């Protein structure tokens, strides 16, 4: 008997109730004790939340996306995907963080009390958070201090490329301005990882004026932000687009390692809004691809089997800008061929979290495997 059973399902039916019914049929009679799902923002979120609650009799976590991902299907859109997990060696407890603004102001948020009961070497956590809250850094900072080394992998919910409303599911309903921290206890082998394919260049961008609260940069190197960025990547302002931001992100050095910081949009006043917190005085570096995204993805995922020989489930938080880059280079089929080798479920996000750090243009992941016992 296997130590863990996972059933994956997908529906593209536009009606929320019918879509969930199709998921139920595909999952079958698995005795699930945890459910992970991700859905297009186009669904009726009220009907969808009620249908998930009524259909699956187990703890569930999920959120809206900027595109869905399933190993066997690759990158898909306008769908709902799920993984139903059954294992006597695993438990999942979703913890609601109802008010993100209040949470980050508290010295010891009560929502984090259950963390103290987690067995340190047999636990990991998954965080789903409102992708437009602009509070990811503060939230994961508080959580990570309480975790004291327990792995945290997270994802910022998405809304396609509309950036209007992002929603996180909890107990039968979707909400804005919340987060859900799923606490996992397991004796199964697991491995957190992050993958990105950029390296720094010698082009430096010093943030000389910014509003951290809105992640907006008005000046770079003492010049209007959009002008300086466009000049650094060798393009005119009118050529800037999400695809350009995907190809030319910037990097910030933290603790001797470079992490990607990506631009969300150009504003009418010539300022730039970022996906991550940004502040006056930071020194950023224009990034360049060190290798093909697809080659880097394959290499990174191949490392999983060195630590988790029999992966049963991989949760993947993948930046929306990675999807745009893949589409721009016409490599969706190549990515699908790579992902088809792995039991992966995930979505395209507005931000990724890895053990206390909020990043962009990165795939953060958690691989969970079978045990030999």
pLDDT in tens, the chain (373 residues): 689 999 999 999 999 999 999 999 999 999 999 999 999 999 999 999 999 999 999 999 999 999 999 999 999 999 999 999 999 999 999 999 999 999 999 988 999 999 999 998 999 999 999 999 999 999 999 999 999 999 999 999 999 999 999 999 999 999 999 999 999 999 999 999 999 898 899 999 999 999 988 999 999 999 999 999 999 999 999 999 988 998 889 998 887 888 888 899 999 999 999 988 888 999 999 998 888 899 999 999 999 999 999 999 999 999 998 999 999 889 999 999 999 999 999 999 999 999 888 888 899 999 999 987 6
What residues have CB less than 8 Å from 178, skipping those under 6 apart? 96, 97, 98, 99, 100, 129, 130, 168, 170
Radius of gyration, CA atoms only, the chain: 20
Pairwise CA distance, residues 11 & 79, whole Å: 6
Pairwise CA distance, residues 183 & 93, whole Å: 5
Pairwise CA distance, residues 128 & 182, whole Å: 8
What residues have CB less than 8 Å from 104, skipping those under 6 apart? 135, 138, 139, 142
| Coil vs helix vs strand at 102 | helix
Query: Which residue bears the tokens 């969970």?
Result: 368
Domain ranges of the chain: 5-195+293-369, 198-289
Pairwise CA distance, residues 154 & 183, whole Å: 12
Pairwise CA distance, residues 82 & 44, whole Å: 17
If 0-12 CB within 10 Å is exposed, 13-18 middle and 19+ buried, where does residue 299 land? Answer: middle
8 A C-beta contact, residue 66 and residue 192: no
Report pTM. Answer: 0.90
The encoded tokens of residue 347 equal: 């979505």
């Amino acid at each position: 008997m296997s130590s863990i059973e996972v059933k994956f399902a997908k529906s593209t039916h536009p009606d929320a109730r019918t879509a969930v019914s199709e998921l139920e049929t595909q999952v079958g009679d698995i005795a699930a004790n945890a459910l992970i799902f991700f859905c297009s923002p186009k669904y009726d979120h009220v009907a969808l939340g009620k249908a998930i609650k009524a259909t699956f009799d187990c703890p569930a976590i999920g959120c809206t996306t900027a595109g869905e991902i399933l190993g066997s299907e690759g990158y898909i859109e306008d769908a709902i995907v799920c993984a139903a997990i059954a294992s006597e060696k695993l438990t999942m407890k979703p913890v609601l963080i109802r008010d993100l603004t209040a949470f980050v102001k508290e010295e010891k948020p009560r929502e984090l009390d259950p963390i103290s009961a987690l067995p340190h070497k047999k636990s990991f956590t998954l965080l789903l958070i409102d992708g437009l809250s602009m509070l990811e850094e503060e939230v994961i900072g508080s959580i990570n201090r309480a975790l004291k080394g327990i792995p945290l992998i997270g994802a910022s919910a998405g809304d396609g490329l509309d950036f209007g409303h992002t929603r996180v599911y909890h107990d039968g309903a979707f909400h804005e301005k919340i987060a859900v921290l799923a606490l996992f206890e397991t004796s199964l082998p697991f491995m957190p990882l992050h993958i990105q394919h950029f390296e720094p260049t010698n082009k430096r961008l010093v943030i000389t004026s910014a509003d951290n609260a809105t992640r907006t940069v008005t000046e770079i190197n003492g010049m209007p932000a959009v002008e300086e960025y466009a000049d650094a990547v060798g393009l005119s302002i009118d050529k800037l687009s999400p695809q350009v931001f995907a190809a030319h992100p910037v990097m910030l050095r933290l603790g001797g390692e470079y992490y990607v910081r990506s631009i969300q949009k150009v504003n009418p006043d010539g300022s730039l809004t970022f996906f991550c917190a940004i502040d006056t005085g930071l020194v950023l570096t224009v990034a360049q691809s060190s290798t093909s995204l697809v080659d880097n993805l394959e290499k990174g995922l191949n490392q999983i089997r060195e630590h988790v020989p029999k992966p049963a489930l991989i949760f993947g938080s993948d930046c929306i800008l990675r999807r745009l880059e893949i589409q721009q280079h016409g490599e969706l089929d190549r990515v699908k061929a790579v992902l088809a080798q792995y039991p992966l479920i995930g979505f395209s996000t507005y931000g990724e979290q890895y053990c206390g750090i909020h990043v962009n243009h990165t795939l953060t992941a958690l691989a969970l495997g079978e045990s030999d016992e």
